[in-house]
Amino acid sequence: MKIAIIHNQLRSSGGMEAYMLALINGFLAAGDEVHIVTCEVDKKLAAKLNCSIHRAPIFLVPGRWKKYCFLSWLNRKFDRNDYDLSLALTRTGAAHVAVVGGVHPAFAAMRDKTESLVRRFHDRTESRFERYMFANTPVILAHSNTIAAEIQTYYPDADAGKIVVRYPPVDTDFFVPVSGPALKKIRVQYHIDPERMTFLFPSRGHGRKGLKELLAAFAMLDQREYELLIVGERVQGVGDIPANARYLGYIDNLSGLYSAVDYTVLPSHYEPFGLVVVESLHCGTPVLVSRQVGASEIISPAEGDILKNITAGDIAESIRNLKKKTVAPGFVDRHGLGIPRHIAELKTLVGE
């Protein structure tokens, strides 16, 4: 099949970007012809991909305005009939399938209400593109039941019959559980004490993902018994960092850390899915998440715990009640989260 994947940027950071790379590799592995339509390209990454890259003719446009120009260009110029299947990972109505990893008004609703006129203008613009996408795309693919419900809440005119739910897959070639001597080496490398209970917080967008409350919770916990490891975006503007919390920087592949810690923790205020959750579970490590994390829909009690509230006190209490355990192998297969299956399901959507 001739496949088009549309996104603002071809890069390797962020949840939707990780999903994009999984799609590219999945379609290529299935023998499909893959075309990337974008406006920003990481040339080093592009050189590694065996696909055609089409860059929109948008230059010298700053910041978010470049994205708006790209979306407008797609809505006017992109013809989905040129492809057997086209998937948009951004807010355009041009593709066969709109992949929705979050609904903008739901994201905006959890932010500080006393915001600038500029921010409110951008919120209205994002929502306008989103509304056009829902009205003009034949299939709306939501990454969780939570997202599907948000679409109908914030866009009641959207055709509910077009919405399907498909959880994003885990790249099991990239994320591989680590054990034996390799696991011991990782614990030595990152100074992980097996006598402590160690938590991993992988994040870009710390405020939305609850780092402030998480740090306050660890300040309440016994430093000899509990430790928090933070990876991803730099830590700033979230208050004091307690002695039992460490920032490790950005790490390309988290498989080793997922395997080396006792829990992955994500107390997000808004998290439409949360790929780090299923990556951790695939690597055998249970999770502690808020109810606002979409992936909580598929977590069993044997695989993780769900916070009652996102407050420092509730997080600390939940952590004290946790016991060390491992997740049974086969999480991806149990929940149908393999890339080949996901690719096969996507190919049926246009026919449906």
Provide the pLDDT for residue 206.
81
Mean pLDDT, the chain, rounded, equals 93
Q: ∠ at Cα 262 (258, 267), nearest 5°?
A: 80
Domain range 2-169+336-349, its CATH number among 3.90.1420.10, 3.20.20.70, 3.40.50.2000, 3.40.1410.10: 3.40.50.2000
What one-character-per-residue DSSP string does 107-161 give? HHHTS-SS--HHHHHHHHHHHHHHHHHHHH-SEEEESSHHHHHHHHHH-TTS-GG
Per-residue pLDDT of the chain (352 residues; tens, 9 = 90+): 999 999 999 987 777 888 999 999 999 999 999 999 999 999 999 999 999 999 999 988 988 899 999 999 999 999 999 999 999 999 999 999 999 999 999 988 877 665 688 888 999 999 999 999 999 999 999 999 999 999 999 999 999 999 999 999 999 998 999 999 999 999 999 999 989 999 999 988 787 899 999 999 999 999 999 999 999 888 876 677 899 999 999 888 899 999 999 999 999 999 989 999 999 999 999 999 999 999 999 999 999 999 999 999 999 999 999 999 999 999 999 999 999 999 999 999 986 5
Dihedrals phi, psi of 173, to nearest 5 degrees: -80, -30
Q: How far is CA 68 from the centre of its chain?
A: 22
Provide the pLDDT for residue 233.
81
Same fold, 2-169+336-349 and 180-334: yes
Contact of 232 with 209, CB cutoff 8 Å:
no
SS3 of residue 334 by DSSP:
helix
Provide the pLDDT for residue 125.
96
What is the percentage of the chain residues whose pLDDT exceeds 70? 97
The b/e string for 296-330 (b: 16+ C-beta within 10 A; e otherwise) is bebbeeebbbebeebebebbbebbeebeeeebeee
Amino acid at 107: F
What one-character-per-residue DSSP string does 307-319 give? -S--SHHHHHHHH
Provide the pLDDT for residue 114.
57
Q: Locate the domains of the chain by residue range.
A: 2-169+336-349, 180-334
Position of tokens 């297969």? Answer: 333
Q: In this predicted model, what pLDDT tens digit does every residue of 197-211 receive, in sequence order?
A: 999 999 887 878 999
Domain range 180-334, its CATH number among 3.40.570.10, 3.40.50.2000, 3.40.50.1370, 3.40.50.970: 3.40.50.2000
Cα→Cα distances 182→178, 199, 267, 342, Å: 7, 19, 29, 30
Contact of 38 with 10, CB cutoff 8 Å:
yes
Contact of 217 with 315, CB cutoff 8 Å:
yes
